[in-house]
Structure 1
Amino acid sequence: MNIFPKTLMLLGSGELGKEVAIAAKRLGCKVIACDRYKDAPAMQVADHAIVFEMNNKDLLQKSIRQYRPDAVIPEIEALAVEALQEIEEEGINVIPTARATAITMNRDKIRNLASETLNVKTAKYAYASNIEELKIVSRKIKYPLLIKPVMSSSGKGQSKVDEEKYLEGAWESAIRESRGKSKHVIVEEFINFDQEITLLTIKQRNGPTLFCPPIGHEQEGGDYQCSWQPQVICEELLKEMKTIAKTITNELGGAGLFGVEFFIRGNEVIFSELSPRPHDTGLVTLISQNLSEFELHLRAILALPIPEIKCISPSASRVILSTESLSKVVYKGIENALAIENTSILIFGKPIAKAGRRMGVSLAKAETIKKARDKADKAAAFIEIFKG
């Protein structure tokens, strides 16, 4: 029998972690929110908050052992993953597994697993550990191409390069924004795709792998800007995407929701990336589905039933970005945004704004995807961020 309440520890307390915490509290769980800074979004709704550097192995293990939660739920990439392996060996459940967390936090490991071990189609890629290597592999892959840190989040440090003369700047950006101790980059073929898709994939402990209706999205500089659901896609391509997502998540193991990203180019399905947690493009499911990606993540983690996943209305999201750095923020225009029918505004509660930082999101539903996107865009445009 599955006995509640459960104690869950979030490693990372941003906006996605906040929604996981809210979903957990609705199930009566106790939530411990961890991050490197105080008053992070998830901390505002959790039972306990712990501030420490999670890429410090000793501090991470100490915090987990102090509370011995029923599940440790990584929500960010900047973690001392070697600590999670030892914690897992002590009988503490890491979501989805310590191995999966270690593989997916590094672009090289997940790309090698998909392409070389599982024979999944990806963009052409290579690695470089200095500027001379970067020049050599870039000539082989050919321009235009993308240069990314092996480990980073939200598109930080990613550059599109059209000519060799821009390589040095792209190298410096990637190394500067890299998380952890990595000093090498991944060089990728630039895919001129027709569609960019997130397929939210739910791996259950005692049931079949499930999928949400596909989500279309747009990125800028590698960071999500808007998303919509359902994305219309032919059944043959969707079937192939599901097969690939299931193949990779089966190899990673464990339980939980995975955000699996694909490019569609003509009749080609090309695997892009994978996150072993709720995906930022999946924020749209808070308004589009009967069960959000956060509720689905919790149900999979806690071995709770998922009878049906249904998209209840065409829906869309649009990010709300800060245009400058502010130590204290206030928001205006929320009343105008909410005057739009079937529209919601989520303010994440981040204590500090930075130029380009995602501070909230608008959500809208309508009769069609186009109308939902127009409403979400209009609502987001009403929100202004000022110094408080």
Structure 2
Amino acid sequence: MTEMETAHEARTVVLLLGAGERTRELAPAFEHLGAQVVTADAVADAQTLTALIEQHAARYVVADLDTAEATNVATTGALHAIADRDDVEVFPTLRSIRFALDGEALRRLAADELGLPTAPFWFAGTVEELTAIGQHAGFPLVVKPVSGAPGEGESVLLRPEDVEPAWQRAVAAGAPTRRRVIAESVVEVDVEVTLLTVRTAGPAGPTVSFCEPIGHHQSPEGSLESWQPQQLSPVALDSAKSIAARIVNSLGGRGVFAVELLVRGDEVYFSDVRPRLQDSGLVTLRSQRLSQFELHARAVLGLPVDTIMISPGAAEVTCSADADARLVLGEALAVAESDVRVLRSEPPVRVSLATAPDPIVARDRARRVASALRRSV
């Protein structure tokens, strides 16, 4: 065997489960660190997963669970079967996966066990129970499925007659085996924030680092706007970091966690946490020295990370028809400090990015890029 072949055989192998756009963006981040990456669709059973690990001598298995319940259940079961192996590490941890797929358990962990501040909440398993919650708590209420993709199946209830449609919408968007919803009192907030929190290994044990807060807003048309940094008061920033550290350390493992927070003045409320990369974090492709993908790869491999923001930035994420954007790319990229990423998903996702000395200017530039791209649809 030649020296080059020996070096190739010694390369760290990362098995990425899931063929979505996040996996395609994450693979190069591992490869740039010298890892060999093998990608596979969601695995249906433990035997298939074990065969893949043995075939490629995988050292790390990194799963990106999608919103399909059947896929999640199959993949989680397969991961359980290999979790105790000494020669393989699984990311996220099985504990993280369990809470990511069960919003009811996650909220009880955050509020009841960890004592994190949250909006007042209740759970319902029938439309009658949801009706009773409305009578008890009053309106407005936010209702969403306990298990499902962020934002899907969510409604704001303003009156008793809104209960039945909100129930139907929530259970249709949630997992079929979990016909339960969460109802929350509406908390008046200034901004919704994603705090990307990186948990990795350090000389003295696990360490937690934070990116600058990312503000985000979902438009009625479905596009997601995010910007970094979102300025918080010193008190709110300390509270946000404390909340994020407590929930992430409770879940354990290594990697990037997207902690969702509601902020009003100095008050911060926990909303959600995802043990994976988030669309709002796509702004880091331009705003940070290391993007969320590079941070995740480093953390999984146990390497040092830094969360330095090199410039204020903004992004607009839009799902679009599969149209050729080349005719308007010139106009889009003529915007100062702009960039465009087209993620190969179904439907395609276009990410309009921009930086500027100020996040307000960066948001305006990103909007101009997105406006130009929309003219290609």
Range of TM-score over shorter length: 0.7 to 0.9
CA distance in 2, matches of 1:171, 1:132: 10
The match for 2:307 among 306, 309, 312 is: 309
1:247 Cα deviation (Å)? 0.9
Segments of structure 1 that go 5 or more residues without pairing to the other structure are 35-49
- 1:70 is aligned to 59
TM-score, normalised relative to structure 1: 0.85
CA distance in 2, matches of 1:222, 1:115: 32
**Are 1:313 and 1:367, in contact at CA under 8 Å, matched by a contact in 2?**
yes
What is the CA deviation profile of residues 251-286 of structure 1, one whole-angstrom value per residue up to 9, with x for unaligned ones? 111111101011112321100100111121110001
**Are 1:290 and 1:311, in contact at CA under 8 Å, matched by a contact in 2?**
yes
CA distance in 1, matches of 2:24, 2:375: 21
Amino acid at match of 1:233: L
**Are 1:289 and 1:312, in contact at CA under 8 Å, matched by a contact in 2?**
yes
**Are 1:259 and 1:279, in contact at CA under 8 Å, matched by a contact in 2?**
yes
CA distance in 2, matches of 1:10, 1:224: 27
What is the CA deviation profile of residues 211-252 of structure 1, one whole-angstrom value per residue up to 9, with x for unaligned ones? 111111112479761111111111221111111111111111
SS at match of 2:188: coil
- 1:333 is aligned to 328
CA distance in 1, matches of 2:242, 2:338: 34
- 1:347 is aligned to 342
What is the CA deviation profile of residues 171-215 of structure 1, one whole-angstrom value per residue up to 9, with x for unaligned ones? 111111113521111111122211211111111122521111111
Segments of structure 2 that go 5 or more residues without pairing to the other structure are 1-8
SS at match of 1:218: strand
**Are 2:340 and 2:352, in contact at CA under 8 Å, matched by a contact in 1?**
yes
CA distance in 2, matches of 1:227, 1:119: 28
More helix by share: 2
TM-score, normalised relative to structure 2: 0.88
Q: 1:258 to 1:313 in 2, by over 3 A?
A: same
- 2:363 is aligned to 373
1:23-102 → structure 2 map (5 Å cutoff) = 23-34=29-40, 50=41, 59-68=44-53, 69-78=58-67, 79-80=72-73, 81-91=76-86, 92-102=88-98
- 2:124 is aligned to 128
What is the CA deviation profile of residues 99-158 of structure 1, one whole-angstrom value per residue up to 9, with x for unaligned ones? 111112221111110001001111111111111111112222321111111111141111
- 2:266 is aligned to 267
> Number of residues paired by the alignment?
354
CA distance in 2, matches of 1:190, 1:222: 22
Structure number with larger C-alpha Rg = 2
Amino acid at match of 1:268: E
CA distance in 1, matches of 2:63, 2:375: 30
Amino acid at match of 2:48: S
- 1:195 is aligned to 191
- 1:361 is aligned to 351
SS at match of 2:83: helix
- 1:37 is aligned to none
Amino acid at match of 1:255: R
Q: 1:221 to 1:136 in 2, by over 3 A?
A: farther
Q: 1:220 to 1:75 in 2, by over 3 A?
A: farther
Q: 1:290 to 1:386 in 2, by over 3 A?
A: closer
1:61 Cα deviation (Å)? 2.1
1:87 Cα deviation (Å)? 2.0
Q: Percent identity?
A: 34
